[in-house]
Amino acid sequence: MAVLEKIRVKFGLAISIIIALALLSFIVDPSTLETAFASMSSKYNVGRIGGKNISYTEFQEDVEKYTAINEIVTGSSVQNEEIQEQIRNSAWQELLDDNMFLKNARKAGITLGDEEVVALTTGEYVSPIIRQNPIFQGEDGQFSPEAVREFARTIGDDETGRMKIFWDYVQRTIQVQQYYSKYGSLFNASNYPNALVVANAVDAGNKTADLEYVFEPASFALDSTIDVPVSEIKKYYKDHKETFKRKASRSAEYVVYEVVPSQEDIIAVSDDFDAAYAEFAKTDNVKAFLIKNSDRQLSEAWYKAGELRTVSAQLDEFVFGKNAGVSPIIREDNTFMAARVIATGLMPDSVYVRHILVGDVTTKDRADSLVDVIKRGGSFSALVALHSQDQSSAADGELGNVGWLTQNYMIPGFESVMTAEVGKPFALKTRYGMHVVMVTKKTKAVEKKQVAIFEKTVLASKETFNDFYNKANTFATLAGGTLEGYRKAVDSLGVYSHKMATVLESTSSYGSVDQAKEVTRWIFDAKKGKASNIITVNNNFFFIVAVDEVRKDGYAPISEVGEAIRYRLYAGKHNEKEAARVREAIAGCSTIEAVAEALGQTVTKNADFALGMTSAYVDPVLAGAVLGAKEGVIAGPVASDAGVYVVKVNGVETGSFYTEEDAKAYELQKSQYTSQQILPAMMEAAGVEDNRARFY
C-alpha cells in the first residue's frame, strides 16, 4: 500500500497513462493520424489492423487494463470524458503497436535484446520513464537501481495485483519506446543531407533578384465560350480518384428544445432562498444547514484574497473587504449565493511534512508512543526506518520526508497539517491507517478565511420539463418520421432548424451541446429522408433530427464531385485563355514599361526577391516565373487563378546571409516533417480502420 500511495502522492499526475502516445511525438503529429484511417469495416468490430479484425470485446479488455493503470497512477476511479478518451487512445495505440508498428520495426531488422532491456531498467542506459520516477529513487533523491529491484521483488507481496499491472505497463512502455527510437533514428539517418545538397541550398538561399513585373488581374466573369465536356470530367475523375476518397458522413437537420427554468421556477427558488437566508446568518451548525439547504457543502479550505473569484467575484469582494456578518444575496445567472466567514487566521500556502506510516487504525496506541519518543528527542529518521510501512518517502534525501504539501496537493486526510505547529509531532488517522506526522517548516503566513457558501441553482421543475417535452413531442408528431414532414413542422411551428452539412461517426457535439453521440448514432442508423422521434441528451435537451443525405465510405461518386471537377477544369482553360489574350496584347513590346502600358497596368518593383525560399504570401506562379526567367529578358505571360504575370529579372545578387547551418536546419526540418508521415503511411499500408466512434 505504501508503495502504491507513493505512486499517487509523489508522482501524482506526472505519470501520464498516455506515455505510449507521447513517445510517438517525434514521429507523428496526432492531428495527422486520422487522415490514414480507412473506415470500411464490419459494423460490429472496433477496427481492423493489418488484416486483423479488432472486436469490441478485445478492445474493451485493453480499455479495462488502462483504466486500472489510470486508477493506480491517480489513486482515483473518477473518470471524466477526457480521461476516458485518453484511456481508449492508449488501448488503441497498444493495438497499433502490436499488430503493425512492432512487426514493421522487426522486419526492418530492429531488435531488442535481454541485456538491452536490463540496461534500460537498472543498467547503464536507464530509461527516463524509470530514472525520473520518484518511486525508484534512493534516500539521496537520485535514481537507484536497487530501488527498481526492490520494487520488482515486492510485486509478489501485493495481493491486489495492481503493482504487477503497473510494472508490466512500465516495462512495456520502455521497450516500445526503444523500438520507436531506433526506428526513428534509422529513418532520420537515411535523410542525412550530403555536402552537395547543402552547398546548392546555400547558393540558392543567398541569391536575390532585382525584379520588375506587371500583373493583369483575372476576370471573374463567366466565359460561356469555354466548354468542359463530360468526357474530360470523367477522365479527370479517373486520373485523380484517390483525391475523392472519403469517410462515411451524413447531412442532417435538427431542432433542439433546451429545458431551462421558467420564471416561476426562478421565483420559487428565490423565495426559498430568502426564507432560509436568515437561518444561514444565525445558525450555530452551519455544516448541517448546508447539508439540508445548499447545493454547495461546507469546505475546510482556507482562502486568501482573490481565490474566491473562481466562485464569485462579488463574494470574494465581500469576504475580503473587511465586511462583517453574512453577504447580501447575490444572483449570477440562475444561481443564488450568500457567504459567511466561519474563521479567520494567518496560514501558510504550503508546509513541509514528515510522516511515519504506522499502519492499521487499531495501532493508535503505538502511534501515540512514537509521538512521545519524538517529543523526548528521538530520531525521526531512525523511527521511520524501524516502524514506517512507507519506506519510499524520502524528499530531499531524508527518509520519511513527504515534502511540501498545499491545499491543492495534499494526501487525503492530512489537511490538518496546514494549521499544525512546526516541530510538534502528532498522530492522525487516514484511510491508509495511523500516521505520526510532523511539520518541519512553513511558508510565510498570510491572512486566510474559512468561508461557508450557501448556494442554490435554479433547476427546471417537473412542470417545466414536461412543458418542453410536450413542445418537442408536438414537433415530432407533426414531422411524422420523414424529412418532408420535418420541414413542414419547422414552417408550421416557426422554430429554427440547424443544418449540419457533414456529420461523421465521431461527431459528438451539435452546436453548444456536447456528449450527444446518441444523436449521431441515430443519424447513422437512419435512411435518407427519415426523421427521428425525440432524442434526449443530458436529460435537458430534446432533439428531433432528419437525414437529408447519406454518404458511404469509399470514393465520392462523380455525380457529387463532377461540378467541382468541371469548375477546376474550367479555371485551367480560363487561365490559358487569359494568358493567350495577354500574349497577343503585348506582342512586340520590348520593355516592361511598354508591357504595362499595353495592359493598362503599372510596373511593380522588388529589388530583393529571394530566389532560395519564397514567402507563403508570394504567388507560387510568380515565384516559378522568376526562377525560370533569363536575366534581362521579358518572361511570360504566365497565368494563375489570380491573374497573369509578365516578369523581367534585371539582375541577381549573391549575399552571405543564408549559412550552411541554416541549410542543414532546413533539411532537418524537412526530414522531421517527412518522418511525421511514417505512421500514417504504415497505417494506410496496413489498411487500418478505426471505427471506435461507433461504440463510444
All 3 cell numbers of residue 541?
Answer: 435537451
**pLDDT at residue 322, as a whole number:** 78
- pLDDT of 496 higher than 90: yes
Share of the chain above pLDDT 90, in %: 44
All 3 cell numbers of residue 364?
Answer: 493508535
Helix (H) or strand (E) holding 586: none
**pLDDT at residue 186, as a whole number:** 81
**pLDDT at residue 153, as a whole number:** 80
- pLDDT of 14 higher than 50: no
In b/e form, how buried is each residue of 310-319, taking b as 16+ CB within 10 angstroms?
ebbebbbebb
CB contact at 8 A, 545 and 532: yes
CB contact at 8 A, 193 and 669: no
Share of the chain above pLDDT 70, in %: 91
Q: Give the CA distances from residue 206 to residues 199, 304, 394, 653, in Å, rounded to whole numbers and listed in that order.
A: 11, 59, 58, 8
Average pLDDT on 172-194 reads 82
- What confidence tier does 255 reach under pLDDT thresholds 50, 70, 90? very high
pLDDT digits (tens, 9 = 90+) for 28-87: 444 433 443 333 445 678 999 988 999 999 999 999 999 888 887 776 676 777 888 899
Mode of pairing for the β-strands spanning 52-55 and 554-555: unpaired
**pLDDT at residue 9, as a whole number:** 41
Helix (H) or strand (E) holding 466: helix 462-479
CA atoms of 299 and 400, how far apart (whole Å)? 29
CA atoms of 109 and 183, how far apart (whole Å)? 10
- What confidence tier does 3 reach under pLDDT thresholds 50, 70, 90? very low
CB contact at 8 A, 288 and 489: no
Mean residue pLDDT of the chain comes to: 85
pLDDT digits (tens, 9 = 90+) for 421-476: 999 999 999 888 889 999 999 999 999 999 999 999 999 999 999 999 999 999 99
Residue 386: exposure state from Cβ atoms within 10 A (0-12, 13-18, ≥19)? exposed
**pLDDT at residue 42, as a whole number:** 55
If phi > 0 it is left, if psi is from -120 to 50 it is alpha, else beta; for residue 433 that is: left
Average pLDDT on 116-133 reads 81
**pLDDT at residue 4, as a whole number:** 41
pLDDT digits (tens, 9 = 90+) for 585-635: 988 888 999 989 989 999 999 888 877 665 557 788 888 888 888 888 888
Partnered with residue 649 across adjacent β-strands are 211, 631
pLDDT digits (tens, 9 = 90+) for 312-351: 999 999 999 878 789 999 999 999 999 999 989 888 989 9
Q: Give the CA distances from residue 333 to residues 92, 260, 458, 672, in Å, rounded to whole numbers and listed in that order.
A: 42, 12, 9, 50
Average pLDDT on 678-686 reads 89
